[in-house]
Amino acid sequence: GAVVSQHPSRVICKSGTSVKIECRSLDFQATTMFWYRQFPKQSLMLMATSNEGSKATYEQGVEKDKFLINHASLTLSTLTVTSAHPEDSSFYICSASHDQGEQFFGPGTRLTVL
């Protein structure tokens, strides 16, 4: 099956700093990428959908100026958490899909904001 990677797998940062998380589709071209957030022992909540070359579509309640998403190529999308606060600590998971098929999920990035 298709492989999606995320980098970094874990990140710890100080409050007020910005953190960038990368999501890459390694062996296919992803026309659409999704970003999810998962709090401990909870389900995945979709944050935004991004299509290559266009602006991301954010779900209700997700601040687009705080969670910057860039999908500059067919194999890379980035999520930048700006001015991170402890309440942003979470597990962030991306998924990628192409026109034909299913979503393939990355392994996730655990963000801890001190």
Partner 1 sequence: SQQGEEDPQALSIQEGENATMNCSYKTSINNLQWYRQNSGRGLVHLILIRSNEREKHSGRLRVTLDTSKKSSSLLITASRAADTASYFCATDGSNFGNEKLTFGTGTRLTIIP
* Positions that interact with partner 1 (CB under 8 A): 1, 6, 31-32, 34, 36, 41-46, 49, 91, 93, 95, 97-108, 110
Q: Which is nearer to partner 1, 51 or 82 (CB)?
A: 51
We find the least distance from the C-beta atom of residue 16 to partner 1, in angstroms, to be 26
Q: Which is nearer to partner 1, 19 or 37 (CB)?
A: 37
Taking residue 103's Cβ as centre, other Cβ atoms within 10 Å add up to: 15
Cα→Cα distances 88→14, 20, 26, 95, Å? 11, 13, 28, 20
We find the least distance from the C-beta atom of residue 65 to partner 1, in angstroms, to be 21
Cα→Cα distances 54→35, 65, 87, Å? 15, 16, 29
We find the least distance from the C-beta atom of residue 3 to partner 1, in angstroms, to be 11
Strand partners, 68: 80
Q: Which is nearer to partner 1, 2 or 13 (CB)?
A: 2
